[in-house]
Amino acid sequence: MPKKTIRDIELSNKRVLVRVDFNVPLDEKDGQMVITDSTRIQETLPTLNYLIEKGAKVILCSHLGRPKGQRDPKQSLAPVAPALSSLLGRPVEFSDETTGEVAKAKALALPPGGVLLLENTRFFAGEEKNDAELAKGLADLAEIFVNDAFGSAHRAHSSTAGVADYLPAVSGLLMEKELTYLHDELENPERPFVVILGGAKVNDKIEVINRLLEKADTIIIGGGMAYTFRKLVQGITIGKSLYKPEWEPIAQAAIDKAKKLGVNLLIPVDAMITDAFDFDAKKLGNTKYTGVNESIPEGWEGVDIGPESVKLFAAEIAKARTVIWNGPMGVFEIKESSKGSFDVAAAIAENSSAKTIIGGGDSVKAVKKAGLADKMTFISTGGGASLELLEGKILPGVACLQEK
Active-site residues, by number, are: 40, 201, 361, 384
Binding mask 343-382 for ligand AMP (x = CB under 6 A): ------------------xx--------------------
Query: Contacting ligand AMP (CB under 6 A), which of 60, 265, 284, 303?
Result: 303
223 binds ligand AMP per the rule CB under 6 A? yes
Q: Kindly state the smallest distance separating residue 34's Cβ from ligand AMP, in Å.
A: 27
Q: Which stretch binds ligand AMP (CB under 6 A): 111-119, 175-183, 200-208, 392-400?
A: 200-208
Measure the CA–CA gap between 263 and 247, rounded to whole angstroms.
21
Helix, strand, or coil (residue 86): helix
Q: Strands, DSSP E only, in 9-114?
A: 15-19, 26-29, 32-35, 57-61, 93-95
267 binds ligand AMP per the rule CB under 6 A? no
Residue number, 327 or 382, with CB nearest to ligand AMP: 327
Peptide bond into 73 cis (omega under 30): no
Helix, strand, or coil (residue 283): strand
Measure the CA–CA gap between 21 and 342, rounded to whole angstroms.
28
Q: Which stretch binds ligand AMP (CB under 6 A): 32-40, 120-128, 180-188, 328-336?
A: 328-336
Query: Contacting ligand AMP (CB under 6 A), which of 97, 140, 207, 333?
Result: 333
Measure the CA–CA gap between 93 and 81, rounded to whole angstroms.
7
Q: Which of residues 308-327 bind ligand AMP (CB under 6 A)?
A: 327
H or E stretch at 356:
strand 355-358
Helix, strand, or coil (residue 342): helix
- Amino acid letter at 45? L
Tallying the residues shown for the chain, one arrives at: 404
Q: Kindly state the smallest distance separating residue 223's Cβ from ligand AMP, in Å.
A: 4
Binding mask 32-71 for ligand AMP (x = CB under 6 A): ----------------------------------------
Helices (H), 222-304: 226-234, 247-261
Residue number, 133 or 204, with CB nearest to ligand AMP: 204
H or E stretch at 181:
none
Binding site for ligand AMP (CB under 6 A): 199-201, 204, 223-224, 242, 302-303, 327-328, 330-331, 333, 361-362
